[in-house]
Structure 1
């Protein structure tokens, strides 16, 4: 017969066997003497204490306790309630480490015997996760508070500000007490509050903002041009909007200044040829729909060169500014006064209507009034001057329906006035063929020059201002005329371009330049990694379908290192067929060819184009360098171009450096490479080789 003790033992063994199957760490103690009866494998695995080390030992002797205080704490809870529920603690492990656990102790009865069943759940992963969360929150707080960009944390639900960082206070002037628990409209943060809903709608729709332009108002009333970037983040259990506000006010100011310079004449601030062309094109399209006409008045100051020669260019510039002021005061707001360069002005008179003879009379009367205005006496730098001018007129109703035709015909009419004595007005007439005949004569002579080999290249050194070492050169075309001698490109280059002969001439220049590089290398006058020859590429030449192949063939034929050749393009190339321009430039760039933008700042200097095109170098135009040491505007423009080139990681060359003062100004502001008479004019091949010095020793 089985005794009661046997039954108790069986039930105890059954319980121990059951505990052995559980994945949770368990320990069974007799309540009478607080002795460990059993521990399961999960217990051994969790704490590293073997069953033999635990079974038979009393509660107080267990190696689990990390301190006597912890042991007494457990004992008091058991004496008080007989159980322990969800007690977070750390137990000592066999390897000397402590393990975070969630402990439970329950009283169980087996027959008449009371036991205590203790279970421990491993909380290491949650503890680690909590620690990582705390570290992550600390890192976020550090990044947020000490970020160099202004940051704001908004509640996504209410759009109210939860927190701002130090940089936000520095840039905008608002303290925490000014903005916390308020939305941006409540303290007048947006310059245009009506635009805020559209920006928020975009954020909600796309889930983020990237460099969204907004105008914001600082606490002191300053308006700042900013770019806002936003993301949704989870902070605790609340979704928030984290926004950064980058102050780009100065960048926008520089961009606006450069863009304004692209469309306006630097001396008079009048629209330049590009802006005139745009306005003329727009008006011609508009006038065709509404039956209106316009007149183009081409001005030229008579004998203006004498002012520059006798009184100096400073006085000449003042005369041009005075003429500009007078013209602007006399025309209507709807009309346009433009300066094309030198002493050439153009006025676009719009809104003319009536019969052809009535339109012509309106243009004649306006031109006569303007002629009188320009011819009035003026006081310039203490000199009493009185200049006359000549005006050629072309009418859209009779003389052309494109900007090019009207400009050409007005110019032809102007030439007729100058040829017949100046100080007068003339309309374009088909029989005005004098200038055309001269143009045809020049074209004929240029074609012959190409056939007879009368062109040659001169080279103007490009110099490192710090070392005074020649680092490159610009190849410049010259015409050795059999009767008139050496002729510069200003006389014939426009005719080459307009006639199409620039394609043949440009190809010849490219081949000659590559041949010159090869000979310099053969003579060891240059090192391949320390010298680069710049070749000007005309817009018409660049737009040839075979242009890339021509460049590749010239390099291959002369077997020169590609890094020794740099192609100079004008800003006008960038604005015509931008896709074709980018494609060709990338093809050449893949070959190793580098690019420079010539006369930067005189054309359409758009940052959007600069970002898209693989340009390596900017050449600051001489017109800015001339007066950079005594004209604040030119100095500021030069500084802006240098800063922009540095930010876009482009090289810089200053053209037309003629004085030590100009060179010192450029070096001070970080432009160390220059080209100009201060070092050397453009010289022949032999003279340039002499400047390079003797061949390098082996």
Structure 2
């Protein structure tokens, strides 16, 4: 290669390298004018053109060199108009390398420009977001100072970064003295542990939480309820927490007192010796009953609740239950209602039911208390029986018989019906006691009352008058019927020996009541007839002489 040729090669290569270096600092709109001008000075080249996408295709006399630069305006194909292809041919390799390198330079430049534009957009967005957050923070703080609730913002270690006026007023401190302090300093040790757990529970997907804890105020514990909102960075790291708090000490103390009252009510209700129930006043269905009720009825809770008192037999029918409820609602019911129902053993259960309407919010319930009077009723019945019946034989006693005879005299006088009276006495009864003992005598008396009672009607009277004497009153029975019954009774005793004492006999005196006669006069005449039977040899029936009916 000649010296001239080498010199030309060096000049062409230097020119291309110089053009590559110069392009880096040129504005976009001058780059291709500069490149095309430089390429037009190459050996054999008349001129260089940039044919952009969409323009006319190249002519056959032009040499094409592709030069595309991304999606920006600088894209297209450099075309050389060649006058002497032989002169240009040695430099085609240089030219292709130049175009490739130039495309890379421009592509890198384009990427840097896109990055700069994206960064500018991002910076603009960050600035806008910062302004929005600043404005939002300003609005938040302005609004929070108008709230009666305590508002604060703090770091995960409880360091306060903001407190509103209500927070400062509550603790009697200024924002300057509070901000920068850890509010853990205000909490008891157990509350600190609880709040730490709450803070640790925050998650980006669950940034809100609410909880209660105690706070020391003036050395005394008070109750707070807080609703917190956590804020995280893009990596999920907890940055800060905003909280809104309320002093709920009064409410908490009321709830504690309510819980105590509820516990006391539960104790008084569940274990009360009286039967207690809460029911719906409209349907009568039981909602709850106490343990005494369950025990007395021998049922489980689920067997009673949902049923009505009518279904359980405490009221004879629904009408009676509704009448009680209406009287209670009207305030007219002042005395308990007596009820009778079967208990768990099928025996009669007696009680007095009292009710009142209790209101719980918009709802009302019927609270029923049933005083169990079964034992009192049984005791009263026993005392009444003891007062009117003979303890040994079980028949009526003389006290009851006195009243009965007076009432029957009045009825006989009013209705003009016959009224006979029999006085019966076991003959030689003292011998039974002396020979066989008093237990045998008691057995004879019990058997006698059984035999006499089996022969009379339900409305007739059989009473032990004293010792071995018995009286029988037979309302509505004529003289002949009374005589037949007396003879029947006498023969029954005579003909049927007693197991404890053997054969015995019975003497009977009979007197018919006469109008205007007192009970004492009537009894005396029957007693005189009995004396006559004894005097005539016993084991007989004697009738009072002046008995005419």
| Structure 1 length-normalised TM | 0.45
With over 3 angstroms needed to count, the CA separation of the structure-2 counterparts of 1:208 and 1:135, relative to structure 1, is farther
Pick the aligned partner of 1:136 from 261, 266, 269.
Answer: 261
Q: Which residue of 1 aligns with 2:390?
A: 265
| Inter-partner Cα distance in structure 2 for 1:304 and 1:26 | 102
Matched, 1:49 2:49: no
Contact 2:452–2:489 at 8 Å: present in 1 too? no
**Secondary structure in 2 aligned to 1:393?**
strand
Pick the aligned partner of 1:253 from 378, 402, 408.
Answer: 378
Pick the aligned partner of 1:294 from 419, 437, 449.
Answer: 419
Matched, 1:335 2:460: yes
Matched, 1:385 2:385: no
Deviations 1:517-569, CA, capped at 9 Å, x for gaps:
xxxxxxxxxxxxxxxxxxxxxxxxxxxxxxxxxxxxxxxxxxxxxxxxxxxxx
1:124 Cα deviation after fit: 1.8
1:144 Cα deviation after fit: 3.5
1:146 Cα deviation after fit: 4.4
With over 3 angstroms needed to count, the CA separation of the structure-2 counterparts of 1:333 and 1:45, relative to structure 1, is same
| Inter-partner Cα distance in structure 2 for 1:62 and 1:389 | 107
Matched, 1:365 2:483: yes
1:125 Cα deviation after fit: 1.2
Matched, 1:214 2:374: no
| Inter-partner Cα distance in structure 2 for 1:219 and 1:315 | 40
1:71 Cα deviation after fit: 7.8
**Secondary structure in 1 aligned to 2:497?**
strand
Once the two structures are superposed, the pairs formed by residues 547-558 of structure 1 within 5 Å of their partners are: none
**Secondary structure in 2 aligned to 1:425?**
strand
Deviations 1:20-40, CA, capped at 9 Å, x for gaps:
xx99577799xxxx9669747
1:342 Cα deviation after fit: 0.7
Matched, 1:404 2:516: no
| Inter-partner Cα distance in structure 2 for 1:252 and 1:123 | 54
| Inter-partner Cα distance in structure 1 for 2:500 and 2:225 | 97
Q: Which residue of 2 aligns with 1:275?
A: 400
1:427 Cα deviation after fit: 1.1
1:216 Cα deviation after fit: 2.4
Contact 2:422–2:508 at 8 Å: present in 1 too? no
With over 3 angstroms needed to count, the CA separation of the structure-2 counterparts of 1:346 and 1:236, relative to structure 1, is same
Once the two structures are superposed, the pairs formed by residues 405-420 of structure 1 within 5 Å of their partners are: 405-419=521-535
**Secondary structure in 2 aligned to 1:296?**
strand
Pick the aligned partner of 2:437 from 307, 312, 337.
Answer: 312
Matched, 1:395 2:520: no
Contact 1:296–1:394 at 8 Å: present in 2 too? yes
**Secondary structure in 1 aligned to 2:252?**
helix
**Uncovered stretches (5+) of structure 2, i.e. residues with no partner:** 1-137, 154-159, 229-241
Contact 1:48–1:93 at 8 Å: present in 2 too? no
**Secondary structure in 2 aligned to 1:262?**
helix
| Inter-partner Cα distance in structure 1 for 2:380 and 2:441 | 30
| Inter-partner Cα distance in structure 2 for 1:37 and 1:314 | 100
1:126 Cα deviation after fit: 1.6
| Inter-partner Cα distance in structure 1 for 2:202 and 2:169 | 23
**Secondary structure in 2 aligned to 1:174?**
coil
**Secondary structure in 1 aligned to 2:283?**
coil
With over 3 angstroms needed to count, the CA separation of the structure-2 counterparts of 1:60 and 1:389, relative to structure 1, is closer
**Secondary structure in 1 aligned to 2:520?**
helix
With over 3 angstroms needed to count, the CA separation of the structure-2 counterparts of 1:207 and 1:138, relative to structure 1, is farther
Contact 1:374–1:389 at 8 Å: present in 2 too? no
| Inter-partner Cα distance in structure 2 for 1:87 and 1:28 | 14
| Inter-partner Cα distance in structure 1 for 2:326 and 2:346 | 27
Q: Which residue of 2 aligns with 1:326?
A: 451
Contact 1:25–1:119 at 8 Å: present in 2 too? yes
| Structure 2 length-normalised TM | 0.56
Q: Which has the higher contact order (CA 8 A, sep 6+)?
A: 1
Once the two structures are superposed, the pairs formed by residues 512-527 of structure 1 within 5 Å of their partners are: none
Q: What is the RMSD of the two structures over their aligned residues, measured on CA atoms?
A: 4.8
Deviations 1:103-136, CA, capped at 9 Å, x for gaps:
799xxxxxxxxxxx99865332122112222232
| Inter-partner Cα distance in structure 2 for 1:118 and 1:248 | 61
Q: Which residue of 2 aligns with 1:125?
A: 250
Q: Which residue of 1 aligns with 2:75?
A: none
With over 3 angstroms needed to count, the CA separation of the structure-2 counterparts of 1:317 and 1:382, relative to structure 1, is closer
Which has the greater radius of gyration?
2
| Inter-partner Cα distance in structure 2 for 1:100 and 1:152 | 37
1:161 Cα deviation after fit: 2.0
Contact 1:207–1:231 at 8 Å: present in 2 too? no
Deviations 1:66-101, CA, capped at 9 Å, x for gaps:
646778999999xx9xxx9x9775574453555445
| Inter-partner Cα distance in structure 1 for 2:183 and 2:502 | 116
Contact 2:296–2:344 at 8 Å: present in 1 too? no
**Secondary structure in 2 aligned to 1:162?**
strand
Once the two structures are superposed, the pairs formed by residues 230-249 of structure 1 within 5 Å of their partners are: 230-234=355-359, 238-245=363-370, 247-249=372-374
1:409 Cα deviation after fit: 3.5
| Inter-partner Cα distance in structure 2 for 1:222 and 1:173 | 12
| Inter-partner Cα distance in structure 1 for 2:409 and 2:392 | 28
With over 3 angstroms needed to count, the CA separation of the structure-2 counterparts of 1:202 and 1:24, relative to structure 1, is same
1:425 Cα deviation after fit: 0.9
| Inter-partner Cα distance in structure 2 for 1:320 and 1:135 | 65
Q: Which residue of 2 aligns with 1:95?
A: 218
With over 3 angstroms needed to count, the CA separation of the structure-2 counterparts of 1:376 and 1:26, relative to structure 1, is closer
